């Protein structure tokens, strides 16, 4: 009996000495917000000006949609902008030109936590995106150099696979036809309905029943797979959508100028009182 007590006590003490498994640190706030069922909006950035980028990243957007498919931005410029605005609330996402190793490797190395893949019309394209964005054993991303550690911490290698998100853009009827297969690829987080190009490639206008059927198919198959659906900010009130591309910096400058000329008052200021030079938020 005494021996049994000793053995039981020893086992209990040994159990207390075993460290509990801790959950992976999640610093991609877009991922946590989506997991909570919240909507997220990204401001589109095409300029290479770090001050413009920081203004976008600190303006209230959940993420920045850094546009490298339809802009002359280089990865060196993008890396500089992201580094200059380290700690900004908006998480950097990059729409890469294509789902190829070089583009995705550079985007993840500079610290992007979201990889947006355009023109998805095949399952293979999405699989390649996951493969090149994720470290082994999930993918085949090489470790290399970059500023990702400076941006996200010394444990980046151990946490990156759980923080880097993949957004697959469906822009054509061919992509919509295989939306179920695209959404089923392990590692996909968001499937995005590219409204303008879906119209361009289908020859249909928004509101046309055939157009809406294509968009609805993408939405329904994505939700069925357990992922989030994305679209333009104008679709924010459509049922089932959570991830949105917001306007670009030039549109926002134009809208801001129009508001200012109409007499709109900056938040925190009084009408008829001029702002103090140099006091603008950074």
Count CA atoms within 13 Å of residue 41 on its CB side: 15
Higher-confidence position of 254 and 7: 254
Question: For position 279, what pLDDT does the model report?
Answer: 59
pLDDT-derived band at 256 (thresholds 50, 70, 90) equals confident
Q: What's the whole-number mean pLDDT along residues 127-140?
A: 97
Does residue 147 sit within a domain?
yes
Does residue 190 sit within a domain?
no
Annotated catalytic residue within 70, 80, 227, 242: 70
CB 206 within 8 A of CB 2: no
Does residue 219 sit within a domain?
no
What is the C-alpha to C-alpha distance for residues 193 and 229, in angstroms, rounded to an integer? 8
Helix (H, G, I), strand (E, B) or coil at 165: strand
pLDDT tens-digit map of 218-254: 999 999 999 999 999 999 999 999 999 999 888 898 8
Does residue 136 sit within a domain?
yes
What single DSSP character describes residue 73?
A: -
The CATH number of the domain holding residue 131 is 3.20.20.60
pLDDT-derived band at 23 (thresholds 50, 70, 90) equals confident
Does residue 58 sit within a domain?
yes
Does residue 193 sit within a domain?
no
Among 11-15, 30-34, 63-67, 105-109, the least confident range: 11-15
Q: What domain range is 255 assigned to? A: 25-164+234-261
Question: For position 24, what pLDDT does the model report?
Answer: 85
Read off the tokens for 215.
Answer: 């968009």
How many domains does the chain divide into?
A: 1
Does residue 82 sit within a domain?
yes
Does the annotation mark 80 as catalytic?
no
Higher-confidence position of 21 and 99: 99
Read off the tokens for 134.
Answer: 């994720």
Among 43-52, 58-67, 210-219, 263-272, the least confident range: 263-272
Helix (H) or strand (E) holding 39: none
Does residue 76 sit within a domain?
yes
What pTM, to 2 d.p., does this model score? Answer: 0.86
């Amino acid at each position: 009996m005494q021996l049994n007590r000793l053995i039981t006590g020893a086992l209990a003490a040994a159990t207390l000495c075993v460290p509990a498994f801790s959950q992976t640190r999640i610093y991609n706030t877009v991922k946590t917000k989506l997991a909570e069922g919240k909507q997220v909006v990204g401001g589109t950035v095409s300029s290479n000006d770090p001050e413009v980028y920081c203004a976008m990243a600190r303006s209230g957007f959940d993420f920045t949609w850094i546009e490298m498919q339809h802009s002359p931005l280089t990865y060196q410029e993008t890396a500089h902008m992201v580094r200059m605005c380290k700690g900004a609330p908006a998480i950097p996402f990059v729409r890469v030109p294509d789902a190829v190793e070089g583009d995705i490797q550079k985007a993840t190395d500079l610290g992007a936590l979201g990889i947006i893949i355009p023109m998805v019309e095949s399952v293979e394209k999405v699989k390649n995106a996951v493969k090149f964005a994720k470290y082994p054993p999930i993918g085949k991303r090489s470790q290399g150099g970059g500023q990702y550690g400076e941006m996200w911490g010394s444990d980046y290698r151990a946490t990156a696979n759980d923080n880097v998100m993949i957004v697959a853009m469906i822009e054509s009827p061919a992509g919509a036809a295989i939306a179920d297969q695209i959404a089923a690829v392990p590692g996909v987080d968001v499937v995005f309905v590219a409204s303008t190009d879906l119209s361009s490639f289908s020859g249909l206008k928004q509101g046309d029943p055939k157009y809406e059927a294509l968009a609805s198919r993408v939405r329904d198959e994505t939700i069925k797979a357990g992922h989030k659906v994305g679209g333009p900010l104008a679709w924010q009130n459509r049922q089932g959508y959570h991830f949105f591309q917001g306007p670009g910096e030039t549109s926002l400058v134009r809208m801001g100028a129009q508001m200012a000329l109409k007499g709109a008052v900056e938040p925190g200021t009084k009408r008829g009182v001029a702002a103090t030079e140099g006091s603008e938020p950074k």
